Amino acid sequence: MNEEPPGGPKIRAGYDLEIRHLKNRAVEMGDWALQMFHDGWEAFEAGDLEAAQKVLDRGAQLDRYDEDMEHAAIAFLVLRQPTAIDLRTAAALLKITTHLDRIGRLGFDMARITSPETSGDKDDLTRVLERMDAVVESMVRQALDALATDQVSLARDLFRRDDEVDQLHREANRRIIDLMVKTPAAAPRLAMDLLVARHFERIADNACKVGEKTIYALTGQRRSEYLPRHPVVPYVLEAPRKDGRARK
């Protein structure tokens, strides 16, 4: 009876190493995706077709990462039949890799719509897009750091930063539409800017999802438990801003 030593049970490492290895592979995939997004944006902004092609050529490796991660996580589930934190981590990683894949894929899409006709008289817009890029890139990096170092607070902070991206996204949309009205000839190019702004916003959302799943893996808490969603209405029905302009 009661063979445990006094002072509590002897703790073994369990599957810690395997889990760590799985996480490291996910972070490696995330770095790859982040680089694709970074280079995709730079190619787009510079209108550099050669740089864009290099990003496009990296798509196949992104697929391989995605497939390898899925395979490794499923093997872990089947062979170890994990429970509790191990189960949550494996399940979270399956979803996290999907979000990382999307981040890389959106960088791929930026490269895909790269065209030499980039420049134009749109300094204000460029500044907003550059600001979006800076915030969103650092969000992806932060999501990967949270995953790599098991930091719940770092992951939670992503939701706050996502609000800034949403505001910048609306700001970008407003400027683009203004420019379209002023210079209809530039509309084809501006439509691409509209897409890129949307891609930034999607990447930030995917970074938040990575954070959300990291929190779930570490604590078992789901988003609705710590960050209930507020009711939202169509933009046009939102209260006008103080400057009198309708929100877009």
Partner 1 sequence: MEGTKLKVDRLTAYYGDNPAIREISLDFPERRVTAIIGPSGCGKSTFIRCLNRMHETGAHTRVEGKVLLDGEDIYDDDPVRVRRRIGMVFQRPNPFVTMSIYDNVSVALRFNGRHPREYVDQVVIRSLQQAALWDEVSDRVDAPATSLSGGQQQRLCIARALAAGPEVLLMDEPCSALDPLATSKIEELIGQLKQDYTVVIVTHNMQQAARVADFTAFIYLGGLVEFGPTEQLFERPKERLTEQYITGRFG
Listed as own residue / partner, the contacts of 219-225 with beta carbons closer than 8 Å and 24 or more positions apart are 219/152, 220/84, 220/85, 220/88
Q: In which residue are the tokens 């209930």 written?
A: 228
Residues 111-150 that bind partner 1 (CB under 8 A): none
Q: Which stretch binds partner 1 (CB under 8 A): 83-91, 114-122, 229-237, 239-247?
A: 83-91
Annotate 113-129 with b (16+ C-beta within 10 A) or e (fewer). bbeeebeeebeebeebb
Q: Shortest distance, CB of residue 21 to partner 1, whole angstroms? A: 16
Binding of partner 1 at residue 18 (CB under 8 A)?
no
Run of H or E residues at 97: helix 84-112
Q: Under rule CB under 8 A, how many of the chain's residues touch partner 1? A: 21
CA gyration radius, the chain: 21
Contact indicator for 106, 199 with CB cutoff of 8 Å: yes
Q: Shortest distance, CB of residue 72 to partner 1, whole angstroms? A: 18
Tell me the three state secondary structure of residue 2: coil
Q: Shortest distance, CB of residue 100 to partner 1, whole angstroms? A: 23
Among 17, 50, 81, 160, which residue interacts with partner 1 (rule: CB under 8 A)? 81
Binding of partner 1 at residue 83 (CB under 8 A)?
yes
Other Cβ atoms less than 10 A from the Cβ of 21: the count is: 13
Binding of partner 1 at residue 78 (CB under 8 A)?
no
Among 10, 182, 229, 241, which residue interacts with partner 1 (rule: CB under 8 A)? 10
Binding of partner 1 at residue 12 (CB under 8 A)?
yes
d(CA 130, CA 45): 9
Binding of partner 1 at residue 87 (CB under 8 A)?
yes
Q: Which residues contact 71 (CB under 8 A, 6 or more apart)?
A: none
Q: Shortest distance, CB of residue 179 to partner 1, whole angstroms? A: 50
Among 67, 138, 220, 246, which residue interacts with partner 1 (rule: CB under 8 A)? 220
- Enumerate binding residues for partner 1 (CB under 8 A): 1-4, 9-15, 81-88, 219-220
